[in-house]
């Protein structure tokens, strides 16, 4: 591998990981302020302007707390679980493109960490690995509530993976490619995936709520029933890792649904005029134009991801938690058959439209 290739790979990884970890404290703040806003409360407003330094105070609290380990816990797996929780969604992010290409030093850089021909299927692979930290954390803590939470979490994730996979499959048939760049250019040249397959988008949205264990599907944590579920025995920074993992999984899911259904990094309306205005004002050549476009594509993807993060918070404070049998009924008896029917409909649609 050449020096330049290596350097650009490291730069892309640092950008993605940096943005993700940087968004977490903002989301923590926004989650609390959003909750307060929706419930007509004030929310955190004492630490810094608008309570913006609240995440910092949280971090200090997490670090200063006693870092206890339960006596009967299986130590190795107990410490392994939070690490795995953080790694799986970060790996999945490596396939999501955050721009078409940039040109640095005369060399073209594809703005995607891993360019592999299996593309989005790779994301599913890592979404499947998100089950392990939950099972491990619940089992290694040697606590019955943790085990209950782990069982709930893993059965929920495994069940909703099916409808998620079917919704993804219907979009793969529409785009005819695994490659996320192809998907985005298809959507940029025609219409967003959500217009073609709105039902698939809905099923996918519901499934990612279940996959990321967010309300109304946060049964693995269900405070009122099983205390805190699989991370009950985790304190201090170990709990903070689970907390961060949840937000990173949310970012990953939002980026995935934006890429599949909402045009990914394709420019929002009005942006192309802005780009031509900027480049004519500063007199950019073709290279500068490409780079400015890349920046705007990144902004476009980020704004879409931001909207979905807002949606996650919005729904969390709007809908109450499901009961476990309702959750399973929704997954197996409603979403699964409906997404199968949707798959058939989309297949027929694609066949007759392309004929």
Partner 1 sequence: MSPVIIVLAVISAVLALTMLFTKNPITSALCLLGVLIMTAGIYGLIGEHLIATIQLVVYAGAIMVLFIFSIMLLNLNTESTDFKDKPGLFVGAIAMGFSVFGFIAFALNEHFANHRQDFPMGEFTSDKVAALGGNSKVLSHALFSQFYISFEVISLALLIAIVGAVVLAKRKFD
The residue ranges that bind partner 1 (CB under 8 A) are 74, 77, 116-119, 121-122, 124-129, 131-132, 135-136, 139, 147, 150-151, 154, 158, 177-178
Structure tokens at 339: 């997404």
Closer Cβ to partner 1, 20 or 147, answer by number? 147
> Smallest distance from the beta carbon of 12 to partner 1, in angstroms?
17
Give min distance, CB of 133 to partner 1, in A.
Answer: 12
Quick one: DSSP state of residue 95?
G
Sequence-separated (6 or more) residues with CB below 8 Å from residue 221: 149, 213, 228, 229, 230, 231
Q: What's the min distance (Å) between Cβ of 347 and partner 1?
A: 12
Name which of 28 and 245 has its Cβ closer to partner 1: 245
Neighbouring C-beta atoms of residue 314, cutoff 10 Å: 13
Residue (132 or 298) nearer to partner 1, CB: 132
Q: How far is the CB of 114 from partner 1 (least distance, A)?
A: 8
By the 8 A CB rule, do 170 and 342 touch?
Answer: yes
Q: Yes or no: say if 184 and 111 are a contact pair by the CB < 8 Å rule.
A: no
User: Where is 6: in which H helix or E strand?
Assistant: helix 3-38
Tell me: cis bond preceding 216? Omega within 30 of 0 counts. Answer: yes
In the bound state with partner 1, the residue whose beta carbon lies nearer, of 86 and 309, is 86
Query: Between residues 130 and 246, which has the closer beta carbon with respect to partner 1?
Result: 130
The secondary element (H helix, E strand) that includes residue 102 is strand 101-104
Q: Which CB sits closer to partner 1, 118 or 326?
A: 118
Q: How far is the CB of 86 from partner 1 (least distance, A)?
A: 16
Contact (CB, 8 A) for 322 and 219: yes
Minimum distance between the CB of residue 117 and partner 1, rounded to whole angstroms? 3
Our CB check for partner 1 shows the closer of 34 and 138 to be: 138
| CB-CB contact of 57 with 76 (8 Å) | no
| Residue 50: both structure tokens together | 């608008």
Shortest CB 327 distance to partner 1, Å: 18
What DSSP state is assigned to residue 106?
A: T
Please state, in angstroms and rounded to a whole number, the distance separating the CA atoms of residues 209 and 56: 27
């Amino acid at each position: 591998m050449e020096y330049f290739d290596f350097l650009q790979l490291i730069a892309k990884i640092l950008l993605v990981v940096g943005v993700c970890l940087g968004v977490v404290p903002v989301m923590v703040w926004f989650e609390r302020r959003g909750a307060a806003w929706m419930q007509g409360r004030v929310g955190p407003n004492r630490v810094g302007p608008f309570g913006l330094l609240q995440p910092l105070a949280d971090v200090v609290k997490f670090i200063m707390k006693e870092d206890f380990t339960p006596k009967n816990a299986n130590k190795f797996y107990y410490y392994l679980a939070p690490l795995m929780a953080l790694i799986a969604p970060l790996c999945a992010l490596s396939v999501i493109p955050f721009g078409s290409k940039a040109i640095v030093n005369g060399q073209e850089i594809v703005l995607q960490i891993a360019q592999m021909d299996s593309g989005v299927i790779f994301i599913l692979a890592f979404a499947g690995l998100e089950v392990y930290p939950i099972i491990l954390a619940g089992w290694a803590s040697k606590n019955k509530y943790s085990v209950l939470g782990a069982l709930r979490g893993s059965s929920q994730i495994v069940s909703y993976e099916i409808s998620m996979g079917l919704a993804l499959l219907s979009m793969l048939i529409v785009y005819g490619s695994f490659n996320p760049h192809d998907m985005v250019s298809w959507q940029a040249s025609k219409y967003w995936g959500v217009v073609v397959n709105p039902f698939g988008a809905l099923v996918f949205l519901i499934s990612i709520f279940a996959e990321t264990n967010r309300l109304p599907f946060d049964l693995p944590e269900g405070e009122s029933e099983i205390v805190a579920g699989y991370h009950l025995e985790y304190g201090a920074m170990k709990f903070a890792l689970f907390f961060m993992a949840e937000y990173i999984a949310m970012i990953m899911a939002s980026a995935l649904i934006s890429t599949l259904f909402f045009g990914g990094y394709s420019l929002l309306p009005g942006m192309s005029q802005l780009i031509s205005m900027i480049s004519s004002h500063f007199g950019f050549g073709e290279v500068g134009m490409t780079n400015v476009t890349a920046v705007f594509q990144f902004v476009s993807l980020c704004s879409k991801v931001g909207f979905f993060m807002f949606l996650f918070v919005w729904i969390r404070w709007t809908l109450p938690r499901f009961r476990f049998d309702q959750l399973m009924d929704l997954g197996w008896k409603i979403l699964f058959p409906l997404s199968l029917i949707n798959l058939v409909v989309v297949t027929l649609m694609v066949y007759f439209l392309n004929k």
